[in-house]
Amino acid sequence: MDKSLLRQAIVAKLTAELDTLTRAALMAREEATSEESKAEGKYDTRGQEAAYLAEGQARLALELQETITTYQALSLREFSPGETIDVGAIVTLKARGKSSAYFLGPRSGGLDFEIDGRALVIVTPQSPLGRQLPGRHVGDTVELPGRGGPVPHQIASIE
Position 14 scores a pLDDT of 96
Closest CA to 89 of 36, 49, 125, 61: 125
Position 54 scores a pLDDT of 77
Position 45 scores a pLDDT of 67
**CB distance 124 to 108 below 8 Å:** yes
Q: Which fold has domain 90-158?
A: Chitinase A; domain 3 (3.10.50)
Position 40 scores a pLDDT of 67
Rounded to whole angstroms, how far apart are CA atoms 63 and 39?
Answer: 31
Rounded to whole angstroms, how far apart are CA atoms 13 and 22?
Answer: 14
Low-confidence ranges of the chain (pLDDT < 50): none
Position 36 scores a pLDDT of 67
Position 77 scores a pLDDT of 92
* Beta-bridge mates of residue 155: 93
- Phi and psi at 118, nearest 5°, equal -115, 125
Rounded to whole angstroms, how far apart are CA atoms 93 and 82?
Answer: 16
Own/partner long-range contacts of 62-65 (Cβ < 8 Å, ≥24 apart)? 64/14, 64/17, 64/18, 64/21, 65/18
Position 47 scores a pLDDT of 67
- The model carries a pTM of 0.82
